[in-house]
Every structure is written in structure tokens, then in C-alpha cells.
Homo-oligomer: A and B are copies of this chain.
């Protein structure tokens, strides 16, 4: 039977097998606390500040990997907890690791599984060595320790591996937050010892300490002693609110090494990203653009819209006239509204694409503003547009 070329949609180059670079980070320019940088990895260079779309189960829900790349994404995140349960680390390894298995040619970061396991509540039990928990899929018993998490991430072939930590719940007293942070620091050391160095791969430690300055300081110092390729800020975006998050960043990022990437985990909405970049953060991940895309929420320069709202039903305008994504280039709000009302999968495909494109455009605009030394003006402008609200249909 004859076959036809449909490869046009996908990178034609073979999947990369030779690491292109040692792992590294360069700050190219700064503007206030905001940094314009570049992370070098085995599988490509990442322009920072960067937003990493979430591909929990080795797929960014509703997106082909080439489409994810089309939005401008240079790195994605997958979840160790989900992948260790299904399809399992050995099976992923047999299929070539997450990147090869899912056809994602660029770098991949995996979390350590710690955050998801902690959220299991009564289904998990912590001890000094690690965590025992029951699968949310079938109730089967599993164990994660710094060593096991690091080994799984190796099998998943994560370009960036995260240290295994306890995500301190919020609110937590200073005593509870201190105990939790110190456990995470002992686990960070064990994670580092279990990490297998490979050319162009890196491992990040995670700063904990809740909203307490002394604890964050102690955590940064302990991680610096261990020495990672990068450092994440954990335990935020867990209910403390934007103000407390920004306050914590205000005293935390200045403590952190200037020559290493800083990654704020699980953040956030557009205004979170802008405020965190202003406070010296380089990397972000969040399910918000993808999850919102599945429920009908679209991001625009003027804030969010709910495409399922009846006012969009006959609106022939795109979500955002200034957006160059396929959803905005080719489809009306009215059509997207119809797709969501009819539960058609193309609705979530298009809105997810739009939202990821919006997030990548936002990051690109921030990078440009930092390069041009006008980040403060960008912030003002961003806030002004967001406050305008959506234009009503004619």
C-alpha cells in the first residue's frame, strides 16, 4: 500500500542522540532583579525566563509534541508520580525514556514525585527514609525515597532531575516548617548522592522553609553546600496567596546563587509569572494554561474569558486579535463556543494550544523587555491591559 508524506508537521531530523552541550547557565543581562538567561542542556538550549508546559503522563494533554514546540516551548515537565504508576519506569525505559517515547526532541524536567505523594493525605506515611503510599489508580502500595525517586527519574531520562523533598503544607508553624525543611535537606543530600551525572544533564535542589526568612536562608545554605546545577523554590503556590508568595520571593531569591537557574515550582497565573520574574525567577511550570484550556477558560491580554459563556455564541471574532496561534488565526469565538457546548475534543485542543501560545508569548515579551531594559514599564503595561477586561461583542 502506498504511503504519503505527512512528516511536514513533525521535525524531519532524526531524534537527537548525541548530547549537544554540557549543562550550564548563563545570565545574559539583568534589569533590576529580572534576569535574561540561557540554560544549556544535552538536548537543547532554553531561553529564560522560561515557562514549562506540563505533560504529566508523557503527553501535554490534547497537544501533539510538535504543536507544543510550535507555541515556542523549549522544555516540558512530566510527573514522576504518575509515570512510576503507569506505565512504570522500566516500561518507559524500554520505550527509550519519556522524550523518545513521546516524540519530544527538546529537554525534559521531571519532578520528584514528592509533591503528588504528599497530597495523597491519609494514603501516605512519611518516615526518615522516605514515603510509603497507595496508588490513586488501584490502591497498590509503593515507596519513594530520595534514592528511588532519583533512580526513576534516571529511567525516565529526565534532562533535569529534581531532588526528592517534602512539600511543606501551608500554613505551618515555624517549628513544623523547620522540621520539614531539615528533612528535605537531608533528602536533598541523599538525592544528590544517588544522581548519576551525564553530559548535559542536571539536578536541582529545592529550597523549602515556608514563609519564614530564617528557614529559607538555612535551606539555601544547606543546598549550596551540596551544590546542584540549579535551585528550585518549593512550598509556594500552596494557598499562601500572591502577596505572601511575592514577599517570600523578595527575601529568598537574593540569597540564591546568581550563576544558577532559579525555578519557582507550580507557578502560576500570568500576573504570578510577571511578578516572580521581577523578583529574579528564571523558570516556571504550571498546569493552568492546559487545565484551563480543557474547561473553556482562555487567557488574553485583557484577562481571561470563559468561552462557554453565551455571549460568545455568535461572535465571529477570535479569542484575541493580537494572538498568532492557530485558534485565533483560523477560528471564531462562536465556533469554539460550539465545540465546547458539544463536548467536541477539538475545542480543548484549540484552547489548550491558544493558552500555551499565550504563556509562551508572555515569556517572550518578558525576555525582550529585560533585554531592552524596560521591564518595569512592561509590568505597568501588562497590569493595565489585564485590568481592561474583555471587549464585548459588537
A62 CB-CB contact with B under 8 Å: yes
The answer, among B314, B338, B357, for a CB contact under 8 Å with A4, is B357
Contact flag A57-B1 (CB < 8 Å), given A94-B314, A103-B331, A326-B9:
no
Chain A residues within 8 Å of chain B by Cβ, number: 63
Q: Which residue of B lies closest to A339 (CB)?
A: B59
Contact flag A316-B95 (CB < 8 Å), given A329-B6, A342-B57:
yes
In the complex, A243 Cα to B313 Cα: how many Å? 47
Chain B positions within 8 Å of A5 at CB level: 324
A334 CB-CB contact with B under 8 Å: yes
Does B345 contact A348, Cβ atoms closer than 8 Å?
yes
A287 CB-CB contact with B under 8 Å: no
Q: Residues of A with Cβ closer than 8 Å to B?
A: 1-10, 57-59, 61-64, 67, 70-72, 82, 86-87, 91, 94-96, 101-103, 301, 313-314, 316, 322-326, 329-332, 334-335, 337-339, 341-342, 344-346, 348-349, 357, 360-362, 364-365, 368
User: Can you report 17 A-B residue pairs in the complex whose CB atoms are below 8 A from each other?
Assistant: A3-B324, A4-B360, A6-B71, A6-B325, A6-B329, A7-B329, A9-B67, A9-B326, A10-B330, A57-B342, A62-B349, A63-B346, A86-B338, A87-B341, A101-B335, A102-B335, A345-B349
